[in-house]
Amino acid sequence: MPNNKTLPNYAPGLEGVIAGVSAISKVDPAGDELLYYGYKVSQLCERSSFEEVCYLLLNEGRLPDKKDLENFRGKMSSERNVPAEITDYLCKMPKEAHYMDILRSAVSLFAHFDKQTEDNSKAAELAKSIRLLAKVPTVLAARVRVLRGNKPVSPHQSLGHAANFLYMVNGEEPAPDFAKALDVSLICYAEHGFNASTFTARVAASTLTDMHSSIVGAIGALKGPLHGGANEKAMYMLREIGDPAKAEKYIRDKLAKKEKIMGFGHRVYKKKDSRAPIVKKYALKLAEKSGEKKWHEMSDIIERVLMAEKKLFPNVDFPAAVLYYLLGLPIEVDTPLFVVSRISGWCAHVMEQRADNKLIRPDQHYTGPEAREYISIDKR
C-alpha cells in the first residue's frame, strides 16, 4: 500500500489534512481547551445549560438573551412528543437490536412525518434541528423502559432537557444534582470539530440531501467502535475489575499483552482532554451521594498506571462511563447519549456546510491493474 513517503500528498485517515473550514469549535493548543465559537466549554459547563449551548451552536455563535433562551426552550419542549406509530414500531424491534440502530431508524422515520424534510432553507434547517434534538431522547428513553419491562413515559414539558430524559427513563423527576451531571456531560459531547461522524454529516449535506439523511449517516458513523463506544467498553472494563485492589494488576496485564485500554488518549488532544476532569468532578459528586466510590478509586489507579507507563491521559469517555452508570442508566445507552448531545453539533455543521457549499469529493490514488482486455468466459 502507498504511504506518505511514496505519496507526499497522501495521509491515511486524512490525518493532518484540512478538509474544510469551520467557525464552530476548536481545541485551543495553548491548554487543550475545547472552545465552542470561542467560548470555553469549562465555563459553559459551570455557568450555562445544554439548551443554551444548543442555541449557541445552531445560531452561529450567538448567545441568547433571557427571552431568546426561554423561547428556544419552549420550542424544544413542545417538540418532544413522538408520533405513536414511530414509538410503537421501534419499541417492538427485537430485543437484540442495537440502541444505535434504533436511533438511526428513528431519525429516518422522523423524516416521513416532518413537513419540512425537503426544505433546505436556513429557517427550515433550524426548525428540523430543534425537532431532532427534542425527539431523539424520547425514543431512547422509551426503548430503555420497554426493555426493562415498563411502558414508555410521556415527556415532562416543564423540565429541562437533561432532567426530562431522566424523568422519561425512571418515571420520576430526578434530583437536581443528577440532572446537572447529565447536562454537563451533554455539553461536553455537543461538538468536536471534523470527527468521523461530523465529517460524514457534512459530506452528505454537501450533496444537498436533507437534514435527516445527513444525521442518519452521522449516527451510522458514530456506531463504529473506532469512533463511538469507548465509554461503554470502559465501564464494562471497570465492572470486570470489580475491586480497586485488582485494578493495577489488571491494567498491567493488559499492557503486557499490548491490549488497548478504552477511554484513554485522543488524536486531537496532545497533553490532556480538558473535558475529562469536568465530567469526573460531577461523577464524583454522584458517587459521594450514592456511596459508590469504588469506581473512582479504580479509575484513579488506572489513570496513574497509564500515565506512568504510557503517558496516556483519560479522554472524556472514561469519566462519562462512570457518570452514566451512577445515573442508573444501562451501559448500552452510553453511545446513544452521545447522539442525544452531538445532534446539536451535527446540525450546526450541516447548516454551516450549506452556507458555503461545495460537493465534497476527494481524489484517490489508484492501485489496481492498468487497462486490459476482457477474456471471454469460455477462454478462461
Q: Is the dihedral of CA 239, 242, 248, 253 positive or negative?
A: negative
| Helix pair angle (334-355, 122-147), 10° resolution | 170
What are the two backbone dihedrals, phi and then psi, of residue 259, each rounded to the nearest 5 degrees? -90, 145
Place of cell 469551520: 22
What are the two backbone dihedrals, phi and then psi, of residue 356, each rounded to the nearest 5 degrees? -145, 65
- Amino acid letter for position 274: S
Q: Is 128 helix (H, G, I), strand (E, B) or coil?
A: helix
**Residue 168 burial (10 A CB sphere; 0-12, 13-18, 19+):** buried
* Euclidean distance between CA atoms 353 and 330, whole angstroms: 35
* Euclidean distance between CA atoms 282 and 261, whole angstroms: 23
Q: How many residues are recorded in the chain?
A: 380
> CA 284: distance to chain centroid?
22
Do the beta carbons of residue 335 and residue 228 sit within 8 Å? yes
CA atoms within 13 A on the CB side of 158: 1
Alpha helices in the chain (DSSP H): 41-47, 50-58, 66-78, 84-91, 99-113, 122-147, 161-170, 176-189, 196-206, 211-223, 230-241, 244-256, 275-290, 294-310, 317-326, 334-355
Q: Which residues are catalytic?
A: 266, 317
Measuring CA to CA, how many Å separate 171 from each of 93, 289, 331? 22, 20, 19
Count of other CB atoms within 10 angstroms of residue 89? 13
